[in-house]
Amino acid sequence: MKQAKEAKGFRGAMMGVFCPGQDAKAILGEKYDESFYGTACAYLLRRFGPAHYGCDPYKELTHYMLTTEMEGVLLSVRPGCSVATSFGYYLSEDIYEATIDADFKDRQKKSLADAINDCPVRKPVANALREAIKELKRPVNVRDWVFNIVRRIPDNELLDNIKLAEYSNIAGYGVIPEYYERFKEAEVPKTQKVE
C-alpha cells in the first residue's frame, strides 16, 4: 500500500455505491472517535509521508489517496472527527461506470450491503477497500512508540513476530517557509454563487 501518485480519470465519493466509512467503523471501531483525528494524521504522515493531495481549507486538514490490491481502486482517507466520516473511495472511470450501473439495477431489489455482496461487479471493489482499511491497522513506529491509525499499541500487546509497516523516508523533513509564502501570493479564485 502506498500513496497514489496520480488520480486523473478517477471518480469517487465518501459514500454512495460503497460505504467505506461504515466498513471502517466495523473494522477499526468507533470507540476511537475521540482520538482518531490526531492519531490518524500522525500515522499517515509517518507511514506515507506528506500527503500528495491538497485538502479543503474549510473542512479537511489532509487527504491521502492510497492504493489497494485492485488496480483502479483507491482508498481515500481524510482524517476527521470520527472513523466513519474519514474514509471514501476513488475508482477508475471504467470501474466507476460499471459499479454505478450495477448499483442502479440492484438497489431496486436489495439492501446496500446485500446488493454489494451479491454483485460480481461491486463485491471485488468493496473487498479491496475493506482490505486496505485492515492494512491501516498494521503499526508503524516512532522511536520506541508503536501505533496504528487508531491507537498506540501498548508494549504488552506487541508480539515478537509483529511486522511493522515501513515508514516513509521523507516523514519528518520540514519545508522551508518560503515555499508556503507562494500560496499566500497566488490569487485564489472566488467561488460563484449559484442562484
pLDDT of residue 190: 57
Establish if 5 belongs to a structural domain: no
Question: Under a CB-based contact definition with an 8 Å cutoff, are residues 41 and 145 in contact?
Answer: no
More confident site: 186 or 5: 5
pLDDT-derived band at 155 (thresholds 50, 70, 90) equals confident
Model-level pTM? Answer: 0.84
Establish if 71 belongs to a structural domain: yes
Establish if 195 belongs to a structural domain: no
Round to whole Å and give the CA distance between 80 and 67.
Answer: 20
Establish if 1 belongs to a structural domain: no
Round to whole Å and give the CA distance between 131 and 151.
Answer: 19
Nearest to 73 by CA among 122, 112, 119: 122
User: DSSP character for 79?
Assistant: -
Nearest to 88 by CA among 147, 9, 19, 179: 19
Mean model confidence pLDDT for the chain:
85
Establish if 121 belongs to a structural domain: yes
Establish if 92 belongs to a structural domain: yes
Q: Select the highest-mean-pLDDT range: 31-35, 68-72, 115-119.
A: 68-72
Establish if 64 belongs to a structural domain: yes
More confident site: 73 or 118: 73
Number of domains in the chain: 1
Range of the domain at 35: 10-185
Helix (H) / strand (E) containing 141: strand 140-142
User: Of the ranges 46-50, 122-126, 174-178, which one carries the lowest mean pLDDT score?
Assistant: 174-178
pLDDT of residue 169: 85
Question: Under a CB-based contact definition with an 8 Å cutoff, are residues 32 and 83 in contact?
Answer: yes
Establish if 85 belongs to a structural domain: yes
Say how far residue 111 (Cα) sits from the centre of its chain: 24
